[in-house]
Amino acid sequence: MPQTIVTIGAQWGDEGKGIVVAELLRNADVCVRSQGGDNAGHTLYDSNGEKHVVNIAPSGTIFDHVTNVIGNGCVVNLQTLEENMNGAKGDLYISDAAHLIFEYHKLLDGAQESRRRKKIGTTKRGIGPAYVDKMNRSGIRAGLLKHPELLEEKLRSAIDLKNQELEFWGVEDRINPDAYLEKMKPLFEKYAPMVIDTRAYLISALHEGKLVIFEGAQGSNLDIDHGTYPNVTSSNTTIGGVLTGTGLSHKEIDRVIGISKVYTTRVGSGLMMVDGDAEDLINNMSNKDQYFQQCKLTDSDLEIIGSGDSNHPLYDQLVSRFIRESAEEFGATTGRPRRVGWLDLVVLRKSIEVNGLDGLILTRLDNLDGIPRIKICTRYVNKNTGEELKILPNNEPDLVGFEPEYIELKGWNSTASIRKLEDLPTEAREFVDCVKSTLGIDIYRVKNGPKQGDYVELKNPWSY
State which of 235, 260, 285 marks the end of a domain: 260
Which one of 29, 38, 42, 52 is the catalytic residue? Answer: 42
Question: Does any domain span residue 464?
Answer: no
Same domain, 200 and 311: no
CA–CA distance, 448 with 369 (Å, rounded to integer): 10
Same domain, 171 and 108: yes
pLDDT at res. 42: 82
Which residue range is the domain that position 20 belongs to? 4-97+195-260
State which of 144, 161, 191 marks the end of a domain: 191
pLDDT at res. 119: 63
Q: How far is CA 70 from CA 272, 341, 448, in A?
A: 31, 33, 29
Question: Does any domain span residue 112?
Answer: yes
CATH number, domain containing residue 187: 1.10.300.10
Q: Which residues contact 179 (CB under 8 A, 6 or more apart)?
A: none
Same domain, 205 and 281: no
Same domain, 126 and 217: no
Same domain, 115 and 245: no
Question: Does any domain span residue 67?
Answer: yes
Helix (H, G, I), strand (E, B) or coil at 446: strand
- The total number of structural domains that make up the chain: 3
CA–CA distance, 179 with 183 (Å, rounded to integer): 6
Is 31:246 a contact under the CB 8 Å cutoff? no
State which of 217, 238, 260 marks the end of a domain: 260
Q: Is 14 considered catalytic here?
A: yes
Please indicate, yes or no, whether the overall pTM of this predicted structure exceeds 0.85.
yes
Question: Does any domain span residue 463?
Answer: no
pLDDT at res. 93: 98
pLDDT at res. 334: 67
pLDDT at res. 402: 97
CA–CA distance, 368 with 305 (Å, rounded to integer): 12
| Average confidence (pLDDT) per 10 residues, the chain, 464 residues | 97 93 96 93 80 91 96 98 94 98 94 72 85 96 98 97 93 94 98 98 98 95 96 96 98 98 93 91 88 94 96 96 95 80 98 98 98 98 96 94 98 96 98 98 97 95 91
Question: Does any domain span residue 289?
Answer: yes
